[in-house]
Amino acid sequence: MRRSIRLVLPAVAAATALALTGCNSDEESPFDGPNPGDGGQEETEGGASEGETGGETPEETPEETPEETPGEELPGDIAGGDTGGSGGGGSIGGDVAGDWYTGTTIDDANLEITSGDDTVTFYEDFGQEGDVCEGTITNGTISLDSCDLYGDSEWTDMEATYTVDGSTMQVTWSSGASQTYYNALGGGFSEAEITELQEMLQSLPGAQNNF
């Protein structure tokens, strides 16, 4: 089905541009404040200073609490599950996950790679012709399952191999075509290039409404 890429790019542009500007750091802040735990430590110290008997009681209470706490510490279990999931799949490492671009212009390609479920979204380019494909990525291989056609020319390379060297990824498609990608969030671009990339994404039709 032939559609205009303008229908799908604005949301992608907004998410990527926000990530490039570091807005995600604000979302991490709620996890950086273990104030409730600090408060509990102050109360324990206060109880210990009142007397030996008062000090023994809080000592027994924490012993019972840790036994019940492990079952209730869902965040810890979830974090462990995520790590296990990535490790269990054994597909890609942290150096592969990220937002990769061949350049900073509207004619450049983009690979968005998620490590948790080893999925990849491929954007042929950000213009009217660029197809958008979804697929999976394993250690050294990219497999595209389906593509949405935009423009007149259809993207037909559904398999590729890749190698990663720091912030650079070399991708070779089944047709023999080769592309070099750079990690936008991993030091692949200079500050000036990041600015160019942001401006390009924000200039896409309809993208301004998402910022």
**Torsion, CA 12, CA 164, CA 194, CA 82, rounded to 10:** 50
Q: Examine the pLDDT at 205 and tell me if it is beyond 60.
A: yes
**Quick one: how far is CA 82 from the chain centroid?**
13
Comparing 67 with 169, the larger pLDDT belongs to 169
Among 123-132, 155-164, 166-175, 199-208, name the one with the lowest average pLDDT. Answer: 199-208
Do the bridges between strand 132-138 and strand 159-165 make them parallel or antiparallel, or are there none, so unpaired? unpaired
Flag whether pLDDT at 207 surpasses 70: no
Domains and CATH numbers, the chain: 2-27+92-210 (2.40.128.50), 32-88 (no CATH)
Cross-strand pairs, 136: 119, 143
210 pLDDT more than 90: no
- Cα 172 from Cα 178, distance rounded (Å): 4
DSSP 124-154: S-SSSS--EEEEEEETTEEEEEEEEEESSSP
Return the axis-axis angle of helices 9-20 and 191-202, rounded to nearest 10°.
150
- pLDDT at res. 10: 47
Mean pLDDT to the nearest integer, 7-14: 53
For 69-89, b where at least 16 C-beta lie within 10 A, e where not — what string? eeeeeeeeeeeeeeeeebeee
pLDDT at 12: 56
- Residue tagged 């000090």 (tokens): 55
Task: Band the pLDDT of 9: cuts 50, 70, 90.
Answer: low
Residue 3 DSSP label: E
| Axis-axis angle for helices 52-72, 35-50 (nearest 10) | 150
Distance of CA 98 to the CA centre of its chain: 6
Strands 119-123 and 168-173: unpaired
Q: Look at 46-55, 129-138, 173-182, 188-197 and tell me which has the smallest mean pLDDT.
A: 46-55
